[in-house]
Amino acid sequence: MNNKEFIDGVKEKIAKEFAVKNVNALPRLAKISVSLRVGRYKEDQKSIESAREELRTITGQRPSERISKKSISSFKLKSGDMVGFLVTLRGDRMWSFLQKLVKVVLPSVRDFSGTDPRSIDHQGNLSIGFKDQTPFPEIDPNKIDKLRGVGVTLTTSLFDSTQSQKFFECIGFVFSKTR
């Protein structure tokens, strides 16, 4: 299924679910942010470059560095230290990544029984965390040097968590029954 078919199918489901006839009034997905943490390996330049390349491979876009704003002594973190990378996806890359996330990545996660509905915040955005980068098909588990956490945040135009859950179900997410 190509991007256009996926997008059109999603729009049809959303229009039916929300009973909206005007295409411009449909709730929409504004952006997807994908972050990768470097954690305790922030001093190792080879590890940082490897993390940057992995995120570039996963998203197809050049990541930007994330710098700490505060010093936290218990984490041995100083203000100005690099803590990870971030990519913001919009347009065709966003829809391609979403399709891959829903159809390939989430089903490949071990013991996946659905996304927790509590991972939708009060603004209607969904945040999903992965313990490592191995569920993504572009990453070869035999070639990674370190396991790194990956965070994915889907930002919507909705401002209600219950409506957002319906929206994400229309997109193709499966939610667990813990509410």
pLDDT tens digits, the chain, 179 residues: what are they?
566 777 778 888 888 888 888 877 888 899 999 999 887 666 778 888 888 999 999 999 999 998 888 888 887 778 888 888 999 999 989 999 999 999 899 888 888 888 889 999 989 899 999 988 888 989 888 888 888 889 999 999 888 888 889 889 888 898 887 65
Determine the Cα–Cα distance for residues 132 and 146; give it in Å rounded to an integer: 9
Can you list the domains of the chain with their CATH numbers? 28-171 (3.30.1440.10)
Determine the Cα–Cα distance for residues 53 and 30; give it in Å rounded to an integer: 25
Determine the Cα–Cα distance for residues 62 and 106; give it in Å rounded to an integer: 23
Amino acid at 161: S
Quick one: tokens of 20? 């909206």
Amino acid at 118: R
The residue among 107, 96, 78 whose CA lies nearest residue 34 is 96
Determine the Cα–Cα distance for residues 132 and 141; give it in Å rounded to an integer: 10
Considering the entire predicted model, what is its pTM?
0.86
List the beta strands (DSSP E) in 46-105.
64-67, 82-89
CA 119 to chain centre: 12
Counting other chains too, the contacts that 60-65 makes at CB distance below 8 Å and 24 or more residues apart are: 60/93, 60/96, 60/97, 61/87, 61/89, 61/93, 62/87, 63/36, 63/87
